[in-house]
Amino acid sequence: MSDRGNKNWSMADISEKAVTRRVAVAGGKIRMGSEAFALLVEGKLPKGDPLAMAEIAGIQAAKQTPSLIPLCHPIALNRVMIHSVLRPDDHAVELFCVAEIAEKTGVEMEALTGLSVALLTIWDLTKPINAALEITDTRLLFKSGGKRGTWVHPDGLPAEVEAIVVNL
């Protein structure tokens, strides 16, 4: 049995940080197989349109991040957006979640939480057709603001994310 010690947990002290505009973009993909993908494209999945529901669920989840991640600061989001891209060659949907604030702390966890719940919502609405779904490539792609400035994922940005970032 290991002794991990007694840790007194606390949120990071951001009292001395400056308020800056901060943006984060997270991305991920759900593969669903050819039949489920075809029904999604045709708008014929039995539970309804997963892309529209994923947008709502992702936005709602991003707003709830501090309730879900114990040491996240409660923040007032300026914007959350879910963007979906169909990937027919993979029978997949790639999602991107953009979160933006003017605050003393970053917004990466909100973007990742919004993305994750949006992907899980598509899973829930697609599983009656194919239970062998796969969520992959969940990652932070971009962040800006704060003392570290702009960060881009080492693998670069998909063209769709570049277009989103340019318009922010």
Q: Say what the pTM is.
A: 0.92
pLDDT (0 to 100) of residue 3:
57
pLDDT, mean over the chain: 93
pLDDT (0 to 100) of residue 5:
65
Q: Looking at residues 106-111, what average pLDDT do you find? A: 96
Under the banding of pLDDT at 50, 70 and 90, the label for residue 126 is: very high
CA 123, CA 121: separation in Å to the nearest integer? Answer: 5
124 is annotated as an active-site residue: yes
Which of 7-16, 108-117, 157-166 is predicted most confidently?
A: 108-117
Domains of the chain, earliest start first: 20-166 (3.30.70.640)
CA 168, CA 37: separation in Å to the nearest integer? Answer: 30
Least confident of 1-10, 56-65, 78-87, 148-157: 1-10
Point out the catalytic residue in the list 3, 13, 124, 137.
124
